[in-house]
């Protein structure tokens, strides 16, 4: 997390794309967990991407209809520490 000069939390600007335009979003939607884990390691900046029409992050897509594996949720949260996880 980054703070500005006044000590305020800097909220990142999310990039809006079609789901098919971002591999992390697409892999999350398709529940391809190994690809999600790999992409979080190689392209963590893609965690700051949301779907164009619904503003859903990869974590939203990964948990949209069913729970995702804990390792996947942890990888997505690690890549984007601005996400909030509630039970």
pLDDT digits (tens, 9 = 90+) for 12-66: 788 999 999 999 999 999 999 999 999 999 999 999 999 999 999 999 999 988 8
Report in angstroms the alpha-carbon separations of 34 from 26, 28, 38, 73. Answer: 13, 10, 6, 12
pTM of the model: 0.83
Residue 87, pLDDT > 50, answer no
Please indicate whether residue 44 or residue 84 has the higher confidence score (pLDDT). 44
**What one-character DSSP code corresponds to residue 7?**
S
Q: Tell me if residue 43 falls in helix, strand or coil.
A: coil
For residue 49, what is the enclosing H or E element? Answer: strand 49-51
């Amino acid at each position: 997390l980054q703070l500005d000069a006044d000590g305020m939390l800097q909220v990142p600007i999310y990039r809006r794309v079609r789901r098919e335009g971002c591999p992390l979003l697409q892999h999350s939607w398709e529940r391809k967990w190994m690809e999600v884990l790999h992409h979080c390691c190689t392209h963590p900046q893609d965690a700051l991407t949301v779907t164009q029409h619904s503003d859903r992050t990869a974590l939203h897509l990964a948990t949209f209809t069913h729970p995702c594996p804990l390792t996947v949720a942890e990888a997505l949260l690690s890549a984007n520490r601005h996400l909030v996880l509630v039970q």
